[in-house]
Each structure stands twice: as structure tokens, then as C-alpha cells.
Structure 1
Amino acid sequence: MQPTLSTAPDGTRFRDLNGNGVMDPYENPRLTPEQRTADLLSRLSLEEKAGLMFQTVIELGDDGALLETPGAISKSPTSTVIRDKRMNHFNVHHIPTARAGARWNNNLQRLAEQTPHGIPVTISTDPRHAFVENTGVAFSAGPFSQWPEPLGLAALDDLEAIRSFADIARQEYCAVGIRAALHPQIDLPTEPRWARQAQTFGYDADRVSQIVAAYLDGFQGSSLGPHSVACTTKHFPGAGPQRDGEDSHFPYGREQDYPGGMFDYHLAPFREAIRRGTAGMMPYYGMPVGVERNGRPLDEVGFAYNRQIVTDMLREELGYDGVVVTDWELVNDNHVGDQVLPARAWGVEHLDAPGRMRMLLDAGIDQFGGEECVDLLLDLVRSGAVREERLDSSVRRLLLVKFRLGLFDDPYVDEDLAEQIVGNAEFRAAGTRAQAESVTVLSDRDRRLPLFAETDTRIYAEGIGDTALAAYGRRVEHPEEADVAVVRIGAPFEPRDDLFLEKWFHQGSLEFPPGLAVRLGRIAEHAPLVIVVNLDRPAVLTPLLPIASALVAEYGSSDDAVLAALAGRIPPRGLLPVQIPRSMEAVRASATDVPDGTADPLFPRGFGLRSSPVASEPVGTPQ
């Protein structure tokens, strides 16, 4: 879809966004983004400035229509947040088809043209190219090409493969109008129990720094432009050292500590993201407890509330002048159905909503994530509690990204082209290959790999669908009838479902229930047993090692990809991006912030058996 263009007296084609029949400087595509930003900023009302400083979830209606009622997550009708609240940054969740996503973008942009200065909408997304489905973290691929989780991309240990993924994801995002990514997540998950490891790249700070450079290059390019997706890198200054691995989405996980004194180690990938021009930065919810840096104690408040973190460190020490957006819902409690999740105002729970907003502004943030309480900010300015000039510094940064992305000149997309690009055969094949190659062979005790040399192999399988299995042999119902048994299982966790979002976070112990090893051992008595474990975080695999003929890890792989790897059709080459602990005792005794911190690991970081049709060659040595 092409925007409606006007022609200036000098022949320049432009979008007359404010409808005054004149090409104002902010509408002039020949001026620099900085010049256009300065002009538009001078024209904006207080209400427009305030609207720019909020980003929240809105949802698609049927077939890409605008949803004019509150949704499952979204709080207000679409026209309310765009026309009435003057908001124009939105986080999208479910996208059923590429055409629906593209149509929805175009409908949003048409609605945005009805605002006083026609500021286009920026659509953002959490990761949506892999397997995890968690409303608070990431979404499964749906119509997009499907890849391993970022932890699996790290297992490939291949910077060019990561750059290729990012470029493909960029093309698919742009095709449906998504121009902002709420990723990469470059936290170093040094606490093995932490629930958000699947979206990280492991905890080797040097390697993660190299990965973030490749990732940002694929999404943003050498600089932001009309074909870029603007990345918000998270979670500054590193969310991996969560006390006891509990996630700071929840009140019991609010504390983050550094008993090993490794604060600056966790900063390293963020330094690289700044060097590479990340468009945005997002602090996490956690609050530093008992932490000193440069001889000065850090205030024990959530990172986004912490002026020492956002202004003193990120802005002044590291020289970052991009957008800082908070993580979601730091000002107000979140009510969804009959569940509630308290505002993540850790360390400042005693403050009311206006007090929290003032503290966030004083810390130096530019945008309130997951909020739409525009009136609250307006009241603070009108009462004199916050100066309008404070808003101007943030609005400048937010507008500059929109201008650099070319949204003011053409925010529309082609629905037909979106269907051709998103999830096309080439992209899907690349994703499937990455899924298979990221598979990490941890043991092959009986030299069983590759499997399925015989076309009529009798296979006992659990966790694998019939269609995928049929390409390698025939399913049998009992291990006693099988030539080989293949069992897929997930890493263990402790189910919780009291607070909103909690059921989607895999937290707690890394130990399997004792009955699992007993049951799998009985299968192994009848057929060689290949165990495939999905590692969305490390697991104590010790009880499985003696009973498995082969033990394999994956980080988000389809049945087809797993079987292709086991068969050697796509040889697995994954290397562990994290350590596999030998016991929970070792985990509990380790320092939260120290990489490779568990004593006597079962498998060290970097271990893997690289498979070929003839033999398996170890990389690293199990300990």
C-alpha cells in the first residue's frame, strides 16, 4: 500500500501529515532525521508529547481489523489509545497470519493519520521466531519461520548463522509492519535456575558480545534506516544474577545480587550493544541488594527506578543517548481476569503511582512500558511536579527513531508481499536446519548415532508425532517390540499458578522427579534408549546418563528437526552454551553472578559430540 503524497512547489513529494497544504520541515524527506525531529518537537502539544512516552499492548481484531474493545491483555479500544491518548508505540502479541498482521498495521497507520500531526505508529514485538509461548516473554512462530530459541542459536557457535537469522527475522517483521524488536536479550544467565534463559545466548561475556554485534547487524544494519528493525536490548545492566534463580516479574524474585563481585562482567555485552548503536535499552525489574560499584553502594530499588543505573552509568559513564524504555507495568498493578500481578515497583512499593512515575522520570527513562496512564503524566506536568522540558528530552529520542526508520514517509506495507515473504519455504528450511544443527549430543555411549540406518526400523517413541516418525521407520506400541526407543522430555521445573504470568515461567528445582529415571530405565531394559531433553534452562541430567544409550539436548526443535539430527541427515553440531550441573547441591552452593560457577559439572560449557555419518568426535570432555 502506498501513502497519499502531495507535491511541494519544488517538486518534492511528501506526506501532508497535518493537512495544512504545506510541506513543513518535519514532512520534508530531504531533511535529516535530526532536523525533522527538532521541527516536529517544537510543534507538539503537551498531550502529544505525553502520548509518545507510553508503550502498551494492543491486539488485532478479526482478520486484521482494529479491535475496538479491551482484549485479552490490552486494556482499551484501539481508537482510544491512538486518537484520545495520542499514543503511537504498541506491542503486538498474537498474529494469526501474515496478511492479517499487514492489514492491521495499515489500519493502525490510517487511524494515526487522524491525529493532529499524523505521527505514525511504531509496532514492536517480543521474540516470535521460536517455540516458547509465554505472554510475558516470547511467542511461538505461528506464520513466521521457526528457529531454535536464542540459547540454541548460541549452541551453533556460528556468528554468520546468527546474522542470517536476524536478517531473515528483519525481513519478516518489516513485511507485516513490525519495526521495533523488544530484543535481543543479552543477560548472562549465571544462575542456573533462572526462568528466562531460553531467550539468552548463554553467559560467556566475550562470545555474547560478538553475538550481539552480529544480531544487531542483521536487524538494524550499520545504522537505522527505512529497511531496519530498531532493537531494544535488554535487560540493563544484566538480569542473570537473580537470587535463587527466582524471576523478578514476581515479588519473591525482586532481589539481584553479586556475591562473586562480577557486576562489570555482566555489563560487557551491553557495552558492545551501545557501540553497535542499539536503538533502545530496557532495564530489568530486579533491585541490586548489597552491591557496591566503584566504592559506592547501589540504591536498593528496581533498576529502572535507579538513577545511578540509568543516568549515572548508562547515560554518563557509557555514553548512551538512545531510548530507555521500562519493562512492563512498573507504575500500576496488572489485573487480568481474576488474577493480579503487582506493579514491579521493587524497593519503592510504598510510593503511590504518581510518586513512582516521578521517580522513573528522575532516574532517566524515556518511555513507560506496559502502561497507558497518560493522564497521570499530564497531571504531573500541569501541577508543576514535572517540567515539560523533561518530556522534551525523551520525546526527541523517541521521534528520532521513527524518522530514522522512515515511518513518517511510508509506514504502510503490501499485504500480498507480506504473504510471500513471511514464512516462505526458503526461510522455513533455514530455520529447520538451524534447529537440527543446534542439537547437542551429550553422550553416545553405545555408538548408536546416527540412528535409523534401516528403513524398516521399529521405533518406540514418546513425545514425537506420527507424521515425523513415519519418515524413519514404523512406530511400535511397546519397548519390547522396538529396535530403538526415542523419548523427548522437557527440563524439570516447579509448576506455579497464583500470580498472573506465573504458570508460563519455569522456575525452581532443576531435578527430575525420581520416578522418571525409574520409568525410563525400564524402557532401556528392552531397547536402546535415546533421550532428548529440551533445555529451556539447565537440568540435572545425572540420573539419566547411566540409562541412556545416547543423551541429546535441544533448545527448541521440531520433531522433524530432532529426527533429522539423530539420523544424521542434518548432522548436529551444537555445543553447550551453559554448564550442566551435576546436582542441586552444587547449584545451591554456587555464586549467583559467577560464570561456570557450579562445582564438578556433569558437562562443561562448550561440550558437545559433533556427529558425522561415520563417527562422533567430542569437543570438550565430560567431567
Structure 2
Amino acid sequence: MPHPTSRRTLLTATAAATAAAATGVLTAPGAAAAHPTNASTDRRLRRIIAGMSLEEKVGQLFVSRVYGPSATGLDQADIDANLKELGVRDGAELIATYHLGGIIYFGWARNTRDPHQIAGLSNGLQRAALAERHRIPLIVSTDQEHGIVCRVGEPATLLPGAMALGAGGSRSDTRQAARIAGTELAALGINQNYAPEADVNVNPANPVIGVRSFGSDPDAVAGLVIEQVKGYQGAGIAATVKHFPGHGDTNTDSHTGLPVINHTREQWEELDAPPFRAAIRARVDSVMTAHIVVPALDPAEVPATLSRPILTGILREELGFDGVVVTDSLGMEAVRMKYGDARVPVLALLAGVDQLLNPPNLPVAWNAVLDAVRGGEISEARIEESILRTLRLKHELGLFRDPFVSDRGVDRTVGIRPHRAAADRIAERTTTLLADPGSLLPLSRRSHRNLLVVGADPASPSGTTGPPTGTLAHAFGELGFNARALSTGTAPDRAKTDEAVAAARGKDAVIVATYNVTAGSSQRDLVTALVATGVPVITVAIRNPYDIAHLTGTGTAASLATYSWTDVELRAAARVIAGRAAPEGTLPVPVPRADDPTQVLYPVGHGLSY
């Protein structure tokens, strides 16, 4: 049997340049489609596993965080953080001690400061892994969903997130966004992305998914999930659909509590399953579990991450998925609160998981799995199944051949002009005009030259340059307007509102950035007070598109939705408001009425244009 082509097969410089010129996206190493390993490769991987000690086998199951911008040579703060949480000084020592299969990057762990640093960290960690006796490369992963969840910020290219892409509705844009993101991650030595979201957001009150979902229509979500799987995997990295069996209809955040989803089996088949089925048909590399209880799928009401009926019975046996199953973070309270840090990894493996992600106490988790195998609760054959799946994935990604990246590759790939231009074009096509009753838009520099931008300033996603008000004002300034920014926050008090009202006097229009407006929110009071000045007020919902329901009746002149407050989406909103681009986005979720959530204010597909 011929040896399958690796997904990370290097293109020649000429081929890469040709692809970039033709598509506007630099083609990464690994543009070939995914291939299953052949029998010869499987035999080689099994021989590697057979030569491992039990400790080495257990280590391959874990994907851990580590503090610091490099694998060695850390400052004292990072050393202290590693010693406190992991019992080691740095990433190299972590790998040598626990024989890890993977590392996950976080901004708060100081892993993602700039592209060259990230590439250096990846190379240093891979060198540490290859110094082990079996020379098994790492899978390096991160959560780079784009939109509100980004671990790698500028100067990497920032792209619209899932719900924005759902508003755009373009399969080609959705695939291109994933291709750009995957190409840049691959250049940084990150070879598994925990994206795309396959959750169908049917609950407007969902506190943890929301705009991270492509929308509320299962078939539409499934179509876009397929495109992102193809985009990421075509760029040479592993895609991971999440959160199985579906986290879209919950009002509890699994980071802090245990959500229960009371869909019947029939409802699950209709609402939650289609995107996961589609991803599996598209040969997705990996599936991430959800820390949720779905009684219709497991009457014992065990969280899905720990549920054998869900992970083995449904995901493996019914849906036929034989790729890598990774847990959501084991540091989340949804699984910790009842089962504890020692039992969670053991129960997850018994349920059918392959990768144990980010346990809060790695020494405890690692030793618990080791003891469970030694004591016979978990068979060694069982963990070898999971190790084989992860080694197959590493082989398919080309990591056994060459896990390293280069500074030249970073410079030729990350944040390059064609990628940024494509991101701007995609963002314009996602911006949604929800209401413009007086046909105020687009604004003219002749009649609306002097603008005030006020509103929310939530904690910024990675890569944003500052508060949304400042970003919007700067974008308007580049378009030839005189724009002043005044941050009033997500809960403006009377003093902030009065300051905004005073600043609005003499302006030609006011743009208000709103953020998750709810009943009784003082953001509504701010909008009402600004409308009372007689200056036209335009609201821009910078996260959930549901804000407009709580602003109905305030007298706003126009309302838009951007689905995130990263720079690329805010710049696109400014161009739309200024008439430099037409609003093409339409709602991918219904907006219910604030006074009667059973009634729809704006349906799926609603969106105005000029």
C-alpha cells in the first residue's frame, strides 16, 4: 500500500506564492486532505506504544497548560506559577516529568505574546518532547475560535467569529476564514485548534455559547461547520468540533455550574446532532466533550464528558466517530464539583475519552490514572487505544516527520496583507443592519461630520487595540469624520450618563456600543437620555444581537449588530455606517421580544441594506 501523503506536506515556495496570488490566502504546509494511516504506519505506531512504560503511556493521554513564553529560561514569576500548580519549573521539565502528549496555550499563561515568541515556544517544547526516549512529538493546541474567543492576538490576523460568519451566511467566507486562521496557527507551531463550534444556540439566555455558535438553525450550522473543518484541516492543522453532545440550549455556564439540557432524544436528533453528524462525515479530526447533563442520552445524569452511553454508545458506536475525543477543560466546576480532581480523568477514560485536557492538578490527575491502570480499574489495552488514536493524528499532521517551524515561515504567513484584507472583506459581509426607520444611514461626512462614540468597554478579546469606543472612533477618523470617544462602561451610572449627554451637544450623531443589554440595564437609560438630546443615536450591539429587543421604544435612529468587538468587526461596522460598505449580514438567530420572549421581534434572516 502506498504511503499516504501527510497533511503537512510542504509546498514549494513557487506553489505557495501562486496559491497566495490566486486566493489571497497564503497556503500553509499541509494543504492535502486528511488520510487514514495505512497498515504499515499503524504497525510502527503500535511498536512505539509497546515499548512505552506505563508512566509514558499515561502521560500521552494528557494535554496540559504551562506558564511562560519559552520552554526554558523563564523569569521567576513563571517559575513560581509552574512550581505552584504543576510541581515543575518550566515546560521542558513538565514534559520530562509527565511524558505529556500535548500542551495547550493560553494568553493568561503568557504563552502568546507575539508570533516569533510563540513559534520559539513551540519549537522549544517540541525539542523537549523529542529528547524523550521514544521521540514522540507533541500536539500543541489552543482555543482560536475568533470573535470573542482568541488566544493569539495581533499582529496575527483576527477574523469574525462564528455567529458573525453565520450572519454572513457564506460558505466560501467561512472556509476561507478557517483556512487563514489555520495557516497562521500552523506557522506558529500550533497544530490543533479547538474550533469550530458545533453548538446550536437555540437559547438567547445561553451565558457561555451565544455568539460562539454559528446560529440557531441546525442545518445552517452544520453547513458552516463542514466548511470550517475543511478550512482548518486543509491548512494542515487538526479541527475540533465542540461541545458534544451540544451546549446550545443551556442557561448555566459549565465553567461555574453543571448545566442540564432537557431535550428529548428526538429533540436532540433534530436540534443538536446535525452539526456533529456533518463534521464526522467531513472526517473531522477531533471532537471535544461538553460538561453537561442530558438525561435523555444518559438516564444516570452523568456529565457527557464522563458518560460512556454518550461518548462510546452514541459518539463512537452510533455516529461512527473513530478520531480523537478530547475533554473540555477538566478545571471547570461542572465536573469538579461532584467527582473531584482525582476521579474525573479516570471516569473520562472509562467513558471513551482519548485526551485529558488541562487538569487543574496535573500531578493528582496523572497519578490517579496511573493507579487506576495498576489497580485494574482501567485496562492497559484501553489506554493504548487512545494513545494509538493520538499518535495517528500526530502522524497525519506530519509531526513525526518535522514538528518544527521557522521565523521565516512566521514572517511569510502571520498577519500578512492578503490575510488582513480578506478578514476585512469577510467582516463587512457579516455586519447586520437591524433597524433604520428614518433612513439615516449611511452617514454623510457633509451632514454628520462630528460624531460622538460612547458605550460599553468590556474586557477585550486578545488582539484588540483598546476599548470598543476608541476603536470605533479611530475607524471613523480614518474615514474622514471628526469622532470623539467616551467610554461609559457596561453599567453606566448617572454621572457617566450626564457626561455623555453633555458631550453629545453639538454633535451630528451619536454611536452607542451596547453590550448584552438586559431588562433594567442602565445601558438603556443611557440610550434614552442621549435620544432626548435630539441628536440621532445609532446603536451597535457589539456582542449579542438581542440587545435591540431591550432598546425598542427608546427612539434610536438605527441599530446594527457586529457579534463581537474585535477590531476587524468594529472597523467593518464603521465602514458600513459611513457607507463605504453595504450591510449584507442577516440574523442567524431570532431576536425575541423583551416583553414576551415567546414572540419573535426579528426572525432569522432579517437584515436591511442600503
Same fold per superposition (TM over 0.5) = yes
Corresponding residue for residue 141 of structure 1? 153
CA distance 1:96–1:515, change in 2 (3 Å): closer
Q: Which runs of structure 2 are paired with 1:332-411 in the superposition (5 Å)?
A: 334=331, 342=333, 344-345=335-336, 349=338, 351=339, 353-371=341-359, 372=362, 373-411=365-403
- In structure 2, stretches of 5+ residues that fail to align are 1-36, 456-468, 485-501
Q: Which deviates further from its counterpart, 175-184 or 576-585?
A: 576-585
CA distance in 1, matches of 2:106, 2:526: 41
CA distance in 1, matches of 2:60, 2:253: 29
Task: Give the structure 2 partner of residue 166 of structure 1.
Answer: 178
Q: CA deviation at 1:584?
A: 5.7
Q: 2:514 aligns with which of 489, 493, 505?
A: 489
Matched, 1:462 2:467: no
Q: In the alignment, which residue of structure 1 is the partner of 2:133?
A: 116
- Once the two structures are superposed, what CA deviation does each residue of 1:401-449 show, in whole Å capped at 9, x if it has no partner? 0011110110000113203311112212221222232111011111111
Verify: 1:209 aligned to 2:226, yes or no. Answer: no
1:425 correspondence with 2:417: yes
Confirm whether residue 257 of structure 1 aligns to residue 270 of structure 2: no
The answer to whether the aligner puts 1:607 opposite 2:595 as a matched pair is: no
Q: Distance in 2 between matches of 1:427 and 1:512?
A: 41
Corresponding residue SS for 1:377? helix
- For 1:99, which of 116, 119, 123 is the aligned residue? 116
Q: Secondary structure at the match of 1:103?
A: helix
Q: Which residue of 1 aligns with 2:576?
A: 565
How far apart in 1 are the matches of 2:138 and 2:395? 12
Tell me if 1:437 matches 2:414: no
Kindly provide the CA deviation profile for residues 201-248 of structure 1, in whole angstroms up to 9, marking residues without a partner as x: 112111111111111111113xxxxx5111121111111121xx1212
> Quick check: 1:532–1:552 contact (8 Å CA) kept in 2?
yes
Query: Does the aligned pair in 1 maintain the 2:350–2:378 contact within 8 Å?
Result: no
RMSD, matched Cα:
2.6
Could you tell me which residue of structure 2 aligns to residue 326 of structure 1? 327
User: Distance in 2 between the 1:385 and 1:532 partners?
Assistant: 55
- Give the Cα–Cα distance (whole angstroms) in 2 for the partners of residues 33 and 60 of structure 1: 35
Alignment partner of 1:602: what SS? strand
Give the structure with the larger helix fraction: 2
Check the 8 A contact 1:455/1:472 in 2, yes or no.
no
Confirm or deny that 1:278 pairs with 2:284.
Answer: yes
CA contact (8 A) 1:468 1:560 kept: yes
Whether the 8 Å contact between 1:64 and 1:101 is mirrored in structure 2 is no
Unaligned runs of 5+ in 1: 1-28, 222-226, 335-340, 493-509, 587-598, 611-615, 617-623
Q: Is the 8 A contact 1:194 1:246 kept in 2?
A: yes
SS of equivalent residue, structure 1 residue 286: coil
Deviations 1:234-288 (A, max 9, x none): 111111121xx1212222x432222695111211110011111111111100112
- Report the CA distance between 1:186 and its aligned residue: 1.0
Residue identity in the other structure for 2:307: N
Q: How far 1:539 sits from its partner (Å)?
A: 3.1
2:328/2:357 contact within 8 Å kept: yes
**CA distance change for structure 1 residues 63 and 609 in 2, over 3 Å: closer, same or farther?**
farther
State the AA in 1 paired with 2:573: V
Specify the code of the residue in structure 2 equivalent to 1:254.
Answer: P
2-structure distance, mates of 1:248, 1:521: 37
Structure 1 position 363, deviation (Å): 1.3
Normalising to structure 1: TM-score of the pair?
0.79
SS at match of 1:532: strand
**How far off is 1:144 after superposition?**
1.4
State the Cα deviation string for residues 362-405 of structure 1 (Å, max 9, x = none).
21111211123222211222222222111111111011000111
**Aligned-partner Cα distance in 2 for 1:325–1:406:** 20
Please list the CA deviations of residues 322-357 of structure 1 after superposition, one character each: whole Å capped at 9, or x if unmatched.
Answer: 11111111xxxx5xxxxxx646246xx2x5555444
